[in-house]
């Protein structure tokens, strides 16, 4: 049950030491690869790992032919670690090319191996550039997701001393993603408001509901102004325009303002 069917999304690694084939093998692979948004140490599960002591994967192609779409040419969902390293290098190169195309000099920062994170302000500039265009930001997120997923799949071998450059490159993408995500809130305010309204509907109890309804029908509603009032007609737009011109990270400020407005 634990191997193939029990719904425990925290399982990340399976060790195979006995023969397995057919639907049991397919269920086992799927069991380990279940993803979940539930976090452990602030990390979501995006893939699983299977350690094969019995060479069970010799049966994978046959199982795929019987239980998945495709013929004998179906590509197995497992890769040699050397192939995963090649895919990771390719994903990093594509990510760096995308950054270069958007005038984000991440490659130049990485070439300075001793000071990658010394000048944090550069990553603020990079984030500011990507925040100028939502499509750029989303595309960068796709590159970072791919790089991080391949990096996780390359563990533990990638943690060796020979792979310091790869680890540093992955860390740079992850750090830049973290800077961007810290500035952009992804919250469905409408959904939250609906949940609050539903909670209030379920929680408010009125004594003598009939008398309350009578008073409610006769009530006069007034809008009571509280707090500070802003007269938009008196704002000096020209002064604001000049101040905004001098802002170091315009798009970061816009993202902050957008998040503030969404929160309100």
Mean pLDDT of the chain: 75
pLDDT in tens, 131-153: 888 899 999 999 999 998 888 88
Query: Which of 13-22, 90-99, 190-199 is least confident?
Result: 190-199
Please state the φ and ψ torsions of residue 51, each to the nearest 5 degrees: -100, 115
SS3 content of the chain, % helix, strand, coil (to 5): 60, 5, 35
With contact defined as beta carbons under 8 Å apart, do 118 and 97 qualify? no
Query: Which of 88-102, 138-152, 189-203, 238-252 is least confident?
Result: 189-203
CA 10 to CA 43: how far, in whole Å? 11
Residue 211 pLDDT grade (very low, low, confident, very high; cuts 50, 70, 90): low
Q: Note the pLDDT of residue 187.
A: 47
Q: Note the pLDDT of residue 54.
A: 79
Whether 117 has a pLDDT exceeding 60, the answer reads no
- Residues 6 or more apart whose CB falls under 8 angstroms from that of 10 comprise 36, 38, 40, 45
Q: Which three-class secondary structure state does DSSP give residue 52? A: strand
Of residues 235 and 119, more confidence is placed in: 235
Whether 121 has a pLDDT exceeding 80, the answer reads no
pTM of the model: 0.51
What's the rounded mean pLDDT across residues 21-45? 77
Whether 98 has a pLDDT exceeding 90, the answer reads yes
Q: Where are the domains of the chain?
A: 13-67, 81-183
Whether 94 has a pLDDT exceeding 50, the answer reads yes
Highest mean pLDDT, choosing among 14-18, 23-27, 114-118, 217-221: 14-18
Q: Note the pLDDT of residue 208.
A: 63
Q: Note the pLDDT of residue 88.
A: 92
Helix (H) or strand (E) holding 252: helix 250-263
Q: What totals of helices (H) and strands (E) does the chain contain, helices first?
A: 11, 4
CA 193 to CA 195: how far, in whole Å? 5
Whether 10 has a pLDDT exceeding 80, the answer reads no
Whether 96 has a pLDDT exceeding 90, the answer reads yes
């Amino acid at each position: 049950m634990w191997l193939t069917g029990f719904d425990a999304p925290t399982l990340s690694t399976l060790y195979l030491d006995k023969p397995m084939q057919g639907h049991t093998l397919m269920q086992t692979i799927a069991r380990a690869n279940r993803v979940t948004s539930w976090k452990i140490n602030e990390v979501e599960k995006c893939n699983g790992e299977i350690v094969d002591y019995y060479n069970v994967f010799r049966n994978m192609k046959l199982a795929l032919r019987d239980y998945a779409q495709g013929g004998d040419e179906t590509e197995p969902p497992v890769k040699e670690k050397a192939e995963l390293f090649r895919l990771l290098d390719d994903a990093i190169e594509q990510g760096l090319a995308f950054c270069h195309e958007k005038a984000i000099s991440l490659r130049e920062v990485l070439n300075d191996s001793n000071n990658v994170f010394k000048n944090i302000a550069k990553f603020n500039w990079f984030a500011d550039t990507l925040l100028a265009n939502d499509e750029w930001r989303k595309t960068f997120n796709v590159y970072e997701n791919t790089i991080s997923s391949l990096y996780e799949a390359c563990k533990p071998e990638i943690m060796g001393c020979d792979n310091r450059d790869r680890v540093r490159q992955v860390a740079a993408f992850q750090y830049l993603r973290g800077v961007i995500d810290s500035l952009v809130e992804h919250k469905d305010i409408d959904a939250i408001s609906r949940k609050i309204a539903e909670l209030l509907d379920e929680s408010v109890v009125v004594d003598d509901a009939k008398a309350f309804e009578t008073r409610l029908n006769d009530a006069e509603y007034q809008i009571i102004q509280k707090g500070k009032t802003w007269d938009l007609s008196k704002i000096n737009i020209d002064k604001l325009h000049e101040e905004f011109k001098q802002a170091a990270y315009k798009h970061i400020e816009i993202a902050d303002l957008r998040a503030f407005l969404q929160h309100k």
